[in-house]
Chains A and B, each alone.
Chain A
Amino acid sequence: MSDAKIKKFRVGVASCGVAAGADAVLELLSARATVPVEGTGCLGHCYAEPLVEAVLEDGKSVFYGNVKADEKSIENILNLGEEGRFEVPALRKAIEKVKVLALAGRINPTDFDDYVAHGGYAGLRKALTMRPEEVVNEVKISGLRGRGGGGFPTGNKWSFLAAKQADEKIVICNADEGDPGAFMDRSLMESAPHQVLEGMLIAAHATGATKLFIYCRAEYPMAIKHLKIAIDQIYEHKLNHVDGRELEIIVKEGAGAFVCGEETALIASLEGGRGTPRFRPPFPTDKGWKGYPTMINNVETFGNVPLILNEGGAKFAEVGTEGSKGTKLFALAGDLKYPGLVEVPMGTTIAQIVFDIGGADRDSVKAVQTGGPSGGCIPAELFDTPVDYDSLKKLGAIMGSGGMIVIGRNRCMVETARYFLSFTHRESCGKCTFCRVGTTRMFEILERITAGKGTEEDLALLEELGPKVRAGSLCGLGQTAPNPVLATLRYYRHEYEAHVKDHCCEALECKALVDLFLDQSKCVKCKLCIKSCPVGAISDNFVIDNAKCTRCNSCAAVCPKHAIRRVKKGSN
């Protein structure tokens, strides 16, 4: 029990929190609490959701993690009980540098005044006192590079659009975050929608834009809702009146095609057409939406812009490395203890992110995949690599938009590559021959290899097709789709060869290449395995019939003595 007085509660009700049950917590806490309870965005600690923050009168806060929506838990929180308290792990605190996400989880995302009270729109106000070219210059000085994955210098892009003379100039925010396992943009839009919009308004001033679009995937309903509320508030406060122009801000919901994250496909989709890329040049800044000069930046890029205006480009550039300035958001997922959203300075090493922040076990990590299905894997031996655009590229991986998937030693790299190709070959728009057919053929080869039916010719064909698919595709999807295969082939060729030559999956993940083995010496005859088996593959005398077994692993999971394990097919 504490004597401190509670000023208010904040409950993280971004999508991640809601998924963990935060809505019910918010409801129950609101019913019981005598102080205000507000919903807020995401603090990035997915593993601890639902998260409740008790803001004290003295300005301090007490956090509760994994809160259950029951009377006991709520009572504990209301009494500032010791139980279930949450603290940001110290290692993470030391490394993380929260700038872009500073307001996420700190404000009510749908409350305009709350945003302003926390310094919101100061950047825009400052920008409006500057001449457009000064703003562009400030962004150039900041060294900000596109956060969507391309890494193109943002200031340069702005200057291209600024230089155009046209009746209409378009600025588009790319919020079609499609990588599996990536949720940086969603979190930012849900938690601080005004921050993104402020960045766009600054861009509109700097470039002379007349129309602003946010192309957001329809799978992000909360982000869309928050953006629309924020836009209404902007209209209400006439913040869209920039340099005498009344800007229209439109949220366009994308139908969930991965390829629409590519700028020319995105524009086609925005125009009402099928989301397929086209040949560049002409680049969108020359000929974009309906033929007008158009500039596209990613959500996180826009999220950085108010900071640059507030602190100045030079100050912004103090953080980061020579070629990559500022901080970067990463969505950590996979085989680690603390999945979630982190913000670290550019140049932080992968080891720091994966082990120190993510809490992954050093001995059990094999590699990390950056850039989602477009990226490549980086083996644990190279985790000292600093995270910046150029270092990652050298390793055959990419920064990507910030997805970071930790791959444990119990994962098969061929299967990992197969998984990513299963995504890209379905998400290809189907236009370019190399992408449509090439990725499908590569996927089929990976299916064969993981099924133990691959040949050495298959490996050769993978190595032949990979670079050709890269070279013979119009857009980023096809140009990067072979990356997971080529990177795993580069670092884990032995695993491919073991599958092909010895029909052996070292990680014992590929079902077709493993058997289940019950170690009689450890077995205590509890019969849990027999009960759990969905196909009746375990006999009354505790022998597994591998001809019947579907390798679902239910038995191994329930065995209290860990007597059941996967072994190489035919080895027992």
Chain B
Amino acid sequence: MSIEFFLDGRAVSAEPGQTILEVATANGFKIPTLCRENRISRTTSCFVCVVRDKKSGRFLPSCSACPAPGQEIEVTSPEVLDMRRTALNLLLSEHTGDCEAPCTLACPAHASVEEYVRAGRKGNFLESLKIIKKRIPLPMSIGRVCPRFCEKECRRNVYGKPVAINEFKRLAADLFYDEYMEELPPETGKRVAIVGGGPAGLSAAYYLRLEGVAVTIFEAMPKAGGMIRYGIPEYRLPKSAVLDRELEHFTKLGVQFEFGRKLGDNLSLDELKQKFDAVVIAIGCWKASGMRCEGEELVTQGIDFLRGVIENDCHAANPGKVIVVGGGNTAMDCVRTSVRLGSGDVNCFYRRTEAEMPAEKIEIAEAREEGVKFHFLVAPVKVEKRGDKLVMTCRRMELGEPDASGRRKPVEIPGSDYEVEADTIIAAIGQSAAIPAGVPVSRFRTVEVQDGTLRIADNVYAAGDCVSGAATVVEGVASGRKAALEIVTALTGKEFPPEPTINVSRGKWQDLKKEDLVFLRDNVSEADREKLDFIPIEERKSTFHEVTSTMPKERVMKEGERCIECSCTDKHDCKLRSHAECAGCKTDAIKGGKLPVTYDTRHPLIIQDRGKCIRCGVCVKICKEVVNKTLLSPKKRGFYTYVGTAFDKGFPASCGECGECINACPVGALDWRNKE
């Protein structure tokens, strides 16, 4: 005799003994649950599967409640969804772990750092390169010039120096770049025009080609590369030995280049829109910001200075005494280039202190090694020409309140003006996009795109620095890839899964101690970080030779042994993560204390990570009711409840490693240790 009742107003029928969840699932409703596992008796613990009895307003765990005749059950009412979201938020609030490794989350391109470091550690740098190129199509360049966002968040910072992640990219690319040829799918017949052959444009081209889209890059300059060719000095990124080799690959992939084509000059956007299925504007930030002081026309712009030297094959006149104004990476490129051109007196003027300098610390240190002098808390007020010398009037500054960027704002000290003399003054203050007419401009003087996308309008997209403002190469390639995927979806309907937004984190490494980390691998190396080999300082100061050499394979492999492998073993199929994602949860919606990190890796194959356990008890019952062993049991009470083994002695010899508990665990609390 079946029971007739209603799910969200729809009449359904249940056999006696059937739960609401079973009937709902059979009728196409998707009710999330973490603790229901069909082979065991009910645990009724997660309360993620709640539904509501319309009449009484009572919430019922649908995994256990059986319907009553005529009962009206709400499956997707706002109250039910809210209750589920709260249950998941509560579970997230006690969850400890790193869903994704911090290095990957820090990487603008979201490269699978842990995976390519692991492949490299095992000596498989071809595999490493394949993983890298899923997100970073310019590994040879980025492997040299990346500011290493990943390393700044590396958990090894908790005790010692971060893993030298970027060396993996550099070595993998140096070893196998020419050898590795991507498999291209059949052509889709779609064609995309890309304006600008810098990192963003190249990246967009690469990922479009991987989806079978034909690509033509229109480049204003005579060669491709954009800022990595014309902005980054030879000593950091050799042009013919490295960049040309890297860009050759794009031609092999079938990317067409048209050089000397500049938008708004000899290239019409309307024409591109007509001729191509989509257009990507990736024109970068090539307009230097002025010094905004009297006599600024006497000053050389940093990016023009660098480009001039590069275009002239590193040959240029000795600039004499040099003053570079600015504290960013371009300023560092300018001072170090000046040193190499023979100037014996190179000075960097910055209006805040070293702590606030946006330049990479390593760049500042290397500049100092090369003899550059730094002058802090000074700003230019006036530049004038006196004879064949330039004279800059400077004003001393002091630090005031923090500004919007969080850095303390420089405040002028009245009456502190003084003059300095120089042969060359270079402004490296900042860059912006020179946006041609017909392209919408945002209030930040960047290309305006639609919220959350890189689409401007119609079939026109934008990517890279011209959207974000001057940024790094890796941010450029990330942006280019995003544009490519959006275009592929628009042109072919192919969907790409979005990056997960649920990323539980152990916290910032600055707040952690070594005990807070989980060491999944045995024998994580305790050695110090491998050091880069530099060419001799005299060679650095007098030539444009690459400053560092690629680290040898053996040392990079050894460095890889230092990786802790922070990400969760279950990151791809954790039910808590996927349900939380669907329910619109936030990992910090409910804040509160978490249990101290306790995990068990005494078993050679299995990890038990208590911080990830949701105490659903499924593993306990699987072992008892399905495997007919009782190796796991809940211990303690309340918030401190955990699942443990007898006398906390770890899995006994009687454990047959059948993996049932691991397969049943909805999260990564019980898992195989070996990540592949």
Contacts and interface: CB of A to CB of B under 8 A. Distances in A.
B592 A444 contact: yes
Given A437-B93, A437-B94, A429 B641 contact: yes
B87 A433 contact: yes
B644 to A, nearest CB: 12
B50 interface: yes
A429 B641 CA distance: 8
Contacts of B639: 425-426, 428, 430, 436-437, 440
A181 interface: no
Contact of B641 (A279, A436, A438): A436
Interface stretch (A68-76, A132-140, A466-474): A466-474
A225 B86 CA distance: 47
Contacts of A474: 44, 61
Given A278-B44, A426-B639, A433-B48, 16 more contacts: A278-B42, A281-B66, A425-B639, A428-B639, A430-B636, A434-B87, A437-B94, A437-B639, A440-B639, A464-B86, A465-B590, A471-B59, A471-B83, A472-B47, A472-B86, A472-B87
A274 interface: yes
A444 B593 contact: yes
**In the complex, which of the residues A429, A444, A464, A472 has the most CB atoms of chain B within 10 Å of its own CB atom?**
A472
20 contacts: A257-B637, A279-B65, A425-B639, A429-B637, A429-B641, A430-B615, A430-B634, A432-B44, A432-B47, A433-B45, A433-B614, A436-B94, A436-B639, A437-B592, A440-B639, A441-B592, A461-B590, A472-B47, A472-B59, A472-B87
Contacts, number: 97
Q: Is the interface of A mostly helix, strand, loop or mixed?
A: helix
B90 A437 contact: yes
Interface string B394-410: 00000000000000000
A432 B640 CA distance: 13
A278 B44 CA distance: 7
Contacts of B590: 441, 461, 465
A438 B83 CA distance: 12
A427 interface: yes
A437 B593 CA distance: 10
A439 B639 CA distance: 9
A428 B639 CA distance: 8
Given A436-B615, A471-B58, A472-B47, A441 B90 contact: yes
Contacts of B48: 433
Interface in B65-102: 65-66, 83, 86-87, 90-91, 93-94
B634 A274 contact: yes
A431 interface: yes
A427 B87 contact: no
A266 to B, nearest CB: 15
B104 interface: no
Contacts of A472: 47, 50, 59, 83, 86-87
B464 interface: no
Contact residues on A (Cβ < 8 Å of other chain), bracket: 20 to 34
Contact of A431 (B45, B65, B66, B83): B45
A215 to B, nearest CB: 18
Interface in A408-457: 425-434, 436-441, 444
Nearest to B82: A468
Contacts of B637: 257, 259, 426-430
Contacts of B640: 426, 430
Interface string B446-490: 000000000000000000000000000000000000000000000
Contacts of B93: 437, 441
Contacts of B65: 279
A526 to B, nearest CB: 45
A427 B638 contact: yes
A431 B46 CA distance: 8
Contact of A279 (B42, B633, B636): B42
**In the complex, which of the residues B44, B65, B90, B593 has the most CB atoms of chain A within 10 Å of its own CB atom?**
B90
Contacts of A437: 90-91, 93-94, 592, 639
A212 to B, nearest CB: 27
Contacts of A274: 633-634
Given A441-B590, A472-B83, A434 B90 contact: yes
B226 interface: no
Interface in A130-166: none
Interface in A321-357: none
B120 interface: no
Contacts of A464: 86
Nearest to A471: B59
Contacts of B593: 440, 444
B58 A436 contact: no
B430 interface: no
A427 B641 CA distance: 10
A440 to B, nearest CB: 4
B617 interface: yes
B66 to A, nearest CB: 8
A28 B48 CA distance: 63
Contacts of A440: 94, 592-593, 638-639
Interface in B153-175: none
Contacts of B46: 433
Contacts of A434: 47, 86-87, 90
A188 B46 CA distance: 39
B266 to A, nearest CB: 58
B64 interface: yes
Contacts of A430: 615, 634, 636-641
Contacts of B638: 425-430, 436, 439-440
Interface in B580-597: 590, 592-593
Q: Which 10 A-B residue pairings sit nearest by Cβ, starting from the closest?
A: A430-B641, A279-B64, A437-B90, A428-B638, A440-B639, A279-B44, A431-B45, A471-B59, A426-B638, A441-B592
**In the complex, which of the residues A257, A259, A430, A440 has the most CB atoms of chain B within 10 Å of its own CB atom?**
A430
Interface string A230-273: 00000000000000000000000000010100000000000000
B89 to A, nearest CB: 9
Contacts of B91: 433, 437
Contacts of B58: 471
Contacts of A426: 637-640
Contacts of A436: 94, 615, 638-639, 641
A70 to B, nearest CB: 44
A54 B46 CA distance: 60
Contacts of B615: 430-431, 436
A471 B84 CA distance: 12
Nearest to A442: B592
Interface in B591-633: 592-593, 614-615, 617, 633
Nearest to B589: A461
Contacts of A461: 590
Contacts of A257: 637
**In the complex, which of the residues A279, A434, A438 has the most CB atoms of chain B within 10 Å of its own CB atom?**
A279
Nearest to B84: A472
